């Protein structure tokens, strides 16, 4: 709306076709309100990372388009959202995980118990979410129509790399 108002008032706009929303701007743990964010590589989701809301639930097809996932985040409205990679997903994209941990925009968790504690939810709630996801992967019946389930199964007995993410504006 702001762009429409500005251009109607006579402002110019350049290369807007290159501006897009991106669902996985990485939130710095020591400066969460900073408006400048690192952009998480889409490969983190491609390697099997899943998006969870503040209650530990999935809310979209994690591999959906940037516009779709961002829209679902806004509609669902249960932040903070976390991009969760189990050990299989993490090992498939280890360089990125190490880089993001070093930049303090991703954390390592030794177990789902540690992750659940950080999220403020019960381990049982997290495991239930993982079990649902694993079932969707096996039965190919994901309610959000996800078709590819790399790095399953997920279990609270595993280790994780996790980043708090938020939608951002991205210039390509």
Alpha-carbon distance values, 14 to 36, 56, 77, 96, 136 (Å): 21, 40, 31, 32, 43
Given the residues 45, 58, 72, 82, select the one marked as catalytic. Answer: 45
- Beta strands (DSSP E) in 19-141 are 19-26, 38-39, 50-52, 81-86, 107-109
Query: Is 22 annotated in the active site?
Result: yes
Given the residues 18, 22, 66, 72, select the one marked as catalytic. Answer: 22
Query: Is 45 annotated in the active site?
Result: yes
Q: Are 21 and 66 in contact (CB under 8 A)?
A: yes
**Which residues belong to the active site?**
22, 45
């Amino acid at each position: 709306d702001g762009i429409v108002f500005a251009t109607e008032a006579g402002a110019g706009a350049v290369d807007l076709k290159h501006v897009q929303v991106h669902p996985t701007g990485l939130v710095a743990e020591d400066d969460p309100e900073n408006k400048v964010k690192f952009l998480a590589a889409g490969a983190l989701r491609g390697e099997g990372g899943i998006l969870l809301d503040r209650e530990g639930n999935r809310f979209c097809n994690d591999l959906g388009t940037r516009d779709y996932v961002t829209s679902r985040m806004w509609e669902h409205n249960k932040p903070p959202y976390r991009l969760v990679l189990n050990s299989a997903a993490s090992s498939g994209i280890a360089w990125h995980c190490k880089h993001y941990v070093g930049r303090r925009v991703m954390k390592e968790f030794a177990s789902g118990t540690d992750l659940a504690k950080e999220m403020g939810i019960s381990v049982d709630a997290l495991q239930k979410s993982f079990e649902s996801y694993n079932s969707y992967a096996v039965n190919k019946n994901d309610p959000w129509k996800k078709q590819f389930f790399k790095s399953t199964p997920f279990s609270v007995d595993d280790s994780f790399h996790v980043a708090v993410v938020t939608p951002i504006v991205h210039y390509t």
